[in-house]
A and B are shown apart, each in its own frame.
Chain A
């Protein structure tokens, strides 16, 4: 599975006074199995961009190839695209609607026309992936779950489609620290087990730095930089100028005059501080 985007533009309210170029001439490639973090301030175009990747929005210009298929071309069957590209929106638990967790997760696979046995296998696999106990949870109402469980049940519905690309828009927003950690480890394990491309949109720089192979930075509809977390988080002034910041460990490293870009998380920071102090003791 690969993604290629070329010259993608999308304008809201074209021709009106409030015309907004939400996405402006964005191009990128994503390799098989890559984990991409997407950051940018509110209104920078992240959500508009990702909504093009499974055909919810149509670009004004530009092309998008998913697995070699130009999804902006004529005659493309959208359900073929949505099978490949799974999208979890912000607060996906608001979209839970079935009587049981099982039926909610089974909704997508059923629409694919799978047999009951295949659907069952998909539901079990998805619940396992998001770490919801099948025996305990499958027949419960999704509305009786805790906040973090609801979020994971909603994402399981996307995973049950076995997408080759999994796009998650702010999957941890509003969760408490434990649920936040659970959702992150769930994303990591889905990425590893299914080998899917993951695109994670988040305001949490710590998560982005820890999880991503590459980070895309959006500002005013443009993809203004992309690179490894070390490359992207090396330029603190620039990021702050566009309403972003550094992961706390990277920020702390900067404060201490350490090579900040190389510090992704607290483990890196502690190693660097230990080395710094040993160096001075000599």
Chain B
């Protein structure tokens, strides 16, 4: 008896009880749909994180000040404080603005990096950050100030949508000019694409001339909004708003991806030398150098955990679907005991009966799998277009989930099929 014959038999049996077939398919359908949706969300999240990190700039190194400073030993601290004169001696605490705590990273560090490693470092953008109150006419918004140099545009892969970025001269002269991010523009005017070029806004009660509007970067997945920002010249921010002499972080654009490890190593050793740090490293470092790859790994480990959790949910729902199939098949075998007896009486071998029920279970699960795949793809598309989620459905996911559902059907179909196959014909025939 060929496989096509078993197939024909199975189709007939399934057609004869459409409702039961549909119900037994439902479990596996939901399992497959969930699996596809979960993987689509996971892959989408991974991709948007990657996009976001890549959007930060190409060949980007980021140097943050003193993440480990608090943990420094007293001895370590004393050697640092005497040497980094710029940062410790001239510091006055800001009364006007919330500032990042005073650190050890200075403008001089940035200039030195730029000067010493032209072979690996293409451009460098020192940055200071703080929270400010911004006002335009009668509208008020809490926002973030970012003081930087004109290199910021290149290094951080930002573009100006309207107007222009401020110039090196404006920076050198502590000019009160600013460039606005799209979220801040929206908070002030209600319109993210508003044109405020040429207008004056008040930043912490001081007037600034808007010279340009930044293009939106987007948030991607979580994190602070990079578009809720007013960008002003570094010197202006340090002197007028934040009243600090150290900088929060440095963005360094490397010449090429190949030069990144070298640049990272050069910057690290230069800063250790300039800050007079002593081993052990990195415990005694008062700065952290990160590259995009580090950031990707960090954020992807989060998505990976999420994907694993959701995959566990998907596997459980597939198992539940499989148990549903087994349940229906066991009922079906019991219900058709007499039919099994008749088939055996007219010459069906155990193998024939086994195959009949196994093919039936497989068809239920494959049809359920295909239906689930359609459901999963449709909900992934709906989630993307209405929920604003980034979802990616790959053909591999589809094929794997359908193959897995067929496997589930066969696995959970074996027990009922064996039960049918090993029935004694005489007992099966007597069954009422």
A binds B: no
Residue numbers of A with Cβ under 8 A of B are none
